[in-house]
Amino acid sequence: MRRLLVATALLAGLTAGSQLWAHPGTAGREAPAGAVPHSRGTNILVVGIDSRAGLSREEINRLHVGGKGCNCTDVMMLVHLSANGRRASVVSIPRDSYTEYATDEQPRPLGKINGAFARGGGPLTVRTVEQATRLHIDHYLQTDFSGFESTVNRLGGAKVCTDKPLTDENSGLDLAPGTHHVDGRVALRYVRARHIAPFSGDLGRVRRQQRAVVEMLSRLTAEEALASPTAAAHTARTLLQSVTTDERTGLGDLVRIGLALGRLNADQTEFMTVPISDFDHRVPGVGSTLVWDKDRSQALWTALRADRPFTGDPRIQPPGGVPVAHAPSSLQVRVDDAEVAAALRGNGFIVQEAAAPPGTPAPTGPTVITYDPLHERSVQTLASALPGAVLRSVPGHGSTFDVAVGDRGRKVVTVTYDRSSVEGAAVTGSHLGCDYLMSTPTAR
């Protein structure tokens, strides 16, 4: 797509103080012993740095990035461009992923993947990702808060959208439902927010980052910013006003890559987040970390090494059923229909029966789930098992969910506890755009 040149540039750097760093071995130099061998296609590691270095107090307040920076990676995306030029694959790597750092120390230290930058900058970050994925990284790009803001502004702003209010005090985000054209300051808040229901943490934020990339590149495509060599050169020059590249990557390289990628459409791009098996792996001295799902993450990296798409690969998908973010066994449900109660119990829910007297007809209309608004997040798991059910929020209702089964809501579907697939499942770029989100209630 004309898309991914700017996608990597947008989230990766093309800003004052950012840099494109060629991994040893990619510029005619021989790779060091033990380096991950090259595979088909091209791999680019894109990172954003959590650092306030060089920012004035006024800039910190304007960008709403108060607090202490960790000098670590805050955003990490691995972009794979297929060898035949017909696909772009983007994998988001959560910042708290628990991994072994690729240092020369023995034994090698373990920690959150975002800490590799603090230990050894871009080079150690690249080696650590290579070690974890066994994918050779051909290019590395990075940016920081102010760099991201200035890049978005230079590109004419960003389009963001939401089907529900988005508010996060930590990032300063406050968006009403709808589609919005925002400047770099608001776009930064949108991609940084980590405390938005129904899920706090990286997954929702990572999905918003992916949406922002898709929409930014879609707009640049519509504006024909990369439709011809002249237009592509103009766009690249605009980006290069605030980027430093390695000696082998210049304007001509970026133009050629952009023109090649311009042949792709949104359905030829795919996005996902590394599958997670443990969202709260506690490590003394490190804190709460994320542990990758061993089998599914290995299948993901194997697919990319083989230059294959990951969408539709059964080895990477959740084991079956609709992915849900809470274990059904943690939810107490009271149901007025014995058949539906049995089906929910078979899904793992803790079910009490409150059956109506024999011969009582089912209420007309859809099934209704009554719940306390304090359980706004977990009720989504029950709603996923009862497609078409209406949610009825009642303050003070308590911790038990009441299900009144209607004559148009007797269907119960299988759900699978797999939080990482709720907001990080493999999808094509066409499923991440605002048009799809705003027209599909379940797109989230």
User: What does the pLDDT look like over 143-193, one tens digit per residue?
Assistant: 778 778 887 888 788 999 998 889 988 889 999 999 999 999 999 999 988
Exposure b/e, 91-122, CB count within 10 A at least 16 = b = bbbbbbbbbebbeeeeeeeebbbbbbbbbbeb
Domains of the chain, residue spans: 2-317+425-439, 323-417
Pairwise CA distance, residues 304 & 313, whole Å: 11
Neighbours of 427 (CB within 10 A): 17
Pairwise CA distance, residues 274 & 290, whole Å: 10
The two three-digit tokens of residue 1, written as one number: 């797509």
pLDDT for 253: 62
Pairwise CA distance, residues 97 & 276, whole Å: 9
What ranges in 241-305 are assigned the alpha helix state H?
251-261, 294-305
Task: Give the side-chain half-sphere CA count within 13 A for 291.
Answer: 12
pLDDT for 143: 79
Pairwise CA distance, residues 347 & 335, whole Å: 14
Helix axes 251-261, 229-240, angle to 10 degrees: 130
Q: Which residues contact 435 (CB under 8 A, 6 or more apart)?
A: none
pLDDT for 66: 75
What's the length of the chain? 444
pLDDT for 9: 46
Distances from the Cα of 187 to the Cαs of 6, 152, 154, 371, in angstroms?
16, 8, 13, 34
* Phi/psi of residue 420, nearest 5 degrees: -70, -20
Torsion angle in degrees (nearest 10) through CA of 220, 221, 226, 231: -70
Predicted TM-score (pTM) of the model is: 0.84
pLDDT for 247: 53
- Residue for token digits 């696909």? 87
Pairwise CA distance, residues 68 & 70, whole Å: 6
Please give the angle made by the CA atoms of 9, 15 and 18, to the nearest 5 degrees: 90
Identify which of 26, 11, 250, 274 has the alpha carbon closest to the alpha carbon of residue 126: 26
Q: With beta carbons less than 8 A apart as the criterion, state whether 290 and 382 touch.
A: no
Mean pLDDT by 10 residues, the chain (444 residues): 43 36 43 71 85 81 79 89 90 96 94 95 92 91 79 86 88 92 93 76 86 81 69 70 54 66 81 93 95 96 97 88 90 93 95 72 84 91 94 94 88 90 90 87 54
Question: H/E/C letters for each residue in 211-248?
Answer: HHHHHHHHHHHHCCCCCCHHHHHHHHHHHHCCEECCCC
pLDDT for 58: 85
The fold of the 2-317+425-439 domain, in CATH, is: Aminopeptidase (3.40.630)
DSSP state of 83: T
- Residues 414, 416, 421, 423, CA torsion sign: positive
What ranges in 244-284 are assigned the alpha helix state H?
251-261
